């Protein structure tokens, strides 16, 4: 399973981080072209494929496959 984040669409709203029951996400210290510190799946192995992150992301920047 893979948690995919389109870093150019991510605006660091942290909704994925706040809704994830397994604390998979954390802000990166790197920035995208728009100047946002995008989110990263730092604990991807802990993902349970609930897809709450995918459903919650307002910018469709996350998908789980």
**The pLDDT value given to residue 1:** 65
Residues 6+ apart with CB under 8 A from 60: 6, 9
Of 8, 5, 6, 10, nearest to 42 by C-alpha is 5
C-alpha 36/C-alpha 11 separation (Å) is 5
Question: What are the residue boundaries of the structural domains of the chain, listed by start?
Answer: 3-64
Question: Which spans in 1-65 are helix H?
Answer: 15-19, 52-56
Q: Going residue by residue through the chain, which has 65 residues, state the pLDDT in tens, using 9 for 90 and above.
A: 699 999 999 999 999 999 999 999 999 999 999 999 999 999 999 999 999 999 999 999 999 99
Q: Contact, 64 vs 1, CB < 8 A?
A: yes
**The pLDDT value given to residue 61:** 98
pTM over 0.85: yes
**The pLDDT value given to residue 51:** 97
Q: What is the CATH number of domain 3-64?
A: 3.30.70.20
């Amino acid at each position: 399973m893979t948690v995919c984040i389109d870093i150019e669409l991510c605006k660091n709203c942290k909704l994925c981080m706040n809704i994830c029951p397994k604390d998979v996400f954390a802000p990166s210290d790197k920035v995208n072209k728009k100047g946002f510190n995008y989110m990263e799946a730092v604990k991807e192995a802990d993902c349970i494929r609930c897809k709450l992150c995918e459903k919650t992301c307002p910018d469709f920047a996350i998908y789980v496959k």
